[in-house]
Amino acid sequence: MEKVSKPELLFYQKIGELFYAVAASDRVVRKSEYDALAKMVEDEWKSMDDYEDRFGTDAAYQMAIVFEWFDYEQMDAQDCYNDFEDYYNDKKNSFYGNRKELIIRTARKIANAFRGSNKSELIMLTRLELLFKE
C-alpha cells in the first residue's frame, strides 16, 4: 500500500462529511446509519484503492472518523453538504472511475438504514445526484 497524499486524504474526509450530512439531514443520526457506513467502508471502499494514512490505516476509514466527529460536534447538515459541494466543484478530478457511483450508493444505504429514506434525506440525495450530473 502507498501512503496517501494530503489531497487524497482530504477526499475521504470530505466524503465522510457528505455522508454525515445525509444522515443528519433529519437532525438525528442513528446507530443504524453508523452501521451502514461501517459496512460500506469494509465491503466496498477499502478495496477501492491502496491508500493509507500516515499511521498505515486504510484511508477509507477517514470517512467514518469524520462522520463520527461531526456527529459528536453536532455539525449542521446543510453546512456540511454545502462544504462538500464546494469541494466537489473545486476538485472534480478527484471523482474519477466509479467513485461517484459508489458515493451515491453509500449515501443511499445510509439514508435507508433507518426505516427508509425520509423527505430531508431524499432531498439531499437528489441534490447530490444532480450535482454529479452537471
Helix, strand, coil fractions of the chain, as percent rounded to 5: 70, 5, 25
> What is the band of 5 on the pLDDT scale with cuts at 50, 70, 90?
low
Question: Angle, nearest 10°, between helix axes 99-112 and 119-133?
Answer: 170
Question: What average pLDDT is seen over the chain?
Answer: 91
* In contact, 38 and 44? CB cutoff 8 Å: no
3-state SS, residue 54? coil
Question: Angle, nearest 10°, between helix axes 31-40 and 61-73?
Answer: 160
- Residues 114-133 as b/e (b if ≥16 CB within 10 A, e otherwise) read beebeebbeebbeebeeeee
> What is the band of 1 on the pLDDT scale with cuts at 50, 70, 90?
very low
pTM for this model (two decimals): 0.91
66 vs 2, more confident: 66
**Structural domain of residue 32, as residue ranges?**
2-133
Cα(134)–Cα(128) distance, integer angstroms: 10
> What is the band of 86 on the pLDDT scale with cuts at 50, 70, 90?
very high
Q: Is the pLDDT of residue 97 over 90?
A: no
Predicted confidence at residue 51, as pLDDT, reads: 79
Mean pLDDT of 70-99: 96
From the list 132, 117, 128, 37, the residue with the least C-alpha distance to 82 is: 128
Predicted confidence at residue 6, as pLDDT, reads: 64
Mean pLDDT of 43-63: 87
Count of domains in the chain? 1
Q: Is the pLDDT of residue 120 over 50?
A: yes
Cα(72)–Cα(94) distance, integer angstroms: 28
What are the pLDDT digits (tens) for 63-79? 999 999 999 999 999 99
Mean pLDDT of 4-16: 83
